[in-house]
Amino acid sequence: MLLHLRNILDPQQLQTARSLLGDQAPWIDGRSSAGSQAQTQKNNEQLAQDSEHARQLRELVLGAVQKDPLFFSAALPRKIFNPLFNRYSGTTNTYGAHVDGAVLHSKAPQQWVRSDISCTLFLSDPADYDGGDLVVQDSFGERRIKLPAGDMVIYPGTSVHRVEPVTRGARVASFFWIESMVRSEQHRRLLFDLDMNLLALRQRLGETPETTALTGTYHNLLRLWADT
């Protein structure tokens, strides 16, 4: 499931994020954190993780995503990798087709995270750069994604994906992974559909014996499938 989550960051938070990610920020070669296949494809810059800039930005992004009910319903997160930050511009401007590692080591807190779901939070205004589409291959073919600043896309960690060359301006984003309480993509999808339709039914009809019973079904399925 590929899902667009809107307004994860508000304009004030975006401004804070951008001011922490300017030229004075400790940008390093993005290849330092890539696995051996991805290293051959990766040509971008990444924010040094042990910096004060990164610490403040991680807090900002984690606080924002954890407040978003749609994110919670779709991802059912058990562990969240510490958000990372990258920049595509100038001669370091692309990331060719690759798959993310299945199990990745997060530094804050120190933990291994299985990459069930990949997340990209767009921080640059799309009018400020050309190119830089995130292209995700799924069973329906290729999906091209270039979102307004503050919006996020989540997609299965199993997907081959790439970032097209940025030919003008700079594309700055946050990216990270989720280990879900529900490992199966199909099970997560069923739970998300049930949750969204229950929400719509409740808005239309209020609470009824049927919505109560179906909420029970949702939780019984979650109990069946979730690991905590």
Using the rule CB under 5 A, give the single segment among 3-11, 83-91, 95-103, 135-143 that binds Ni ion: 95-103
What minimum distance in Å lies between the beta carbon of 225 and Ni ion? 26
Contact yes or no for 44/87 (Cβ under 8 A): yes
In the complex with Ni ion, which residue's Cβ is closer, 68 or 100? 100
Contact yes or no for 170/108 (Cβ under 8 A): no
Give the CB-nearest residue to Ni ion. 100
Q: Which two tokens stand for residue 168?
A: 């003008």
In the complex with Ni ion, which residue's Cβ is closer, 44 or 225? 44
DSSP bridge pairs for 153: 4, 120
In the complex with Ni ion, which residue's Cβ is closer, 84 or 191? 84
Exposed e or buried b per residue across 47-73, where buried means at least 16 C-beta atoms within 10 angstroms of its C-beta: bebeeebbeebbebbbebbeebebbeb
What minimum distance in Å lies between the beta carbon of 80 and Ni ion? 16
What minimum distance in Å lies between the beta carbon of 161 and Ni ion? 6
In the complex with Ni ion, which residue's Cβ is closer, 100 or 125? 100
Q: Contacts with Ni ion in 97-116 (CB under 5 A)?
A: 100
- Inter-CA distances, 100 with 61, 111, 130, 136, 159, Å: 20, 17, 25, 12, 8
Half-sphere exposure of 75 (CA within 13 A, CB side): 31
Using the rule CB under 5 A, give the single segment among 6-14, 25-33, 73-81, 94-102 that binds Ni ion: 94-102
Over the window 182 to 221, marking each residue x when it contacts Ni ion by CB under 5 A and - when it does not, the resulting string is ----------------------------------------
What minimum distance in Å lies between the beta carbon of 123 and Ni ion? 17
What minimum distance in Å lies between the beta carbon of 142 and Ni ion? 15
Q: Which two tokens stand for residue 149?
A: 């600043």
Q: How far apart are CA 192 and CA 214, in angstroms?
A: 13
Q: How far apart are CA 66 and CA 44, in angstroms?
A: 28
Q: Which residues bind Ni ion (CB under 5 A)?
A: 100
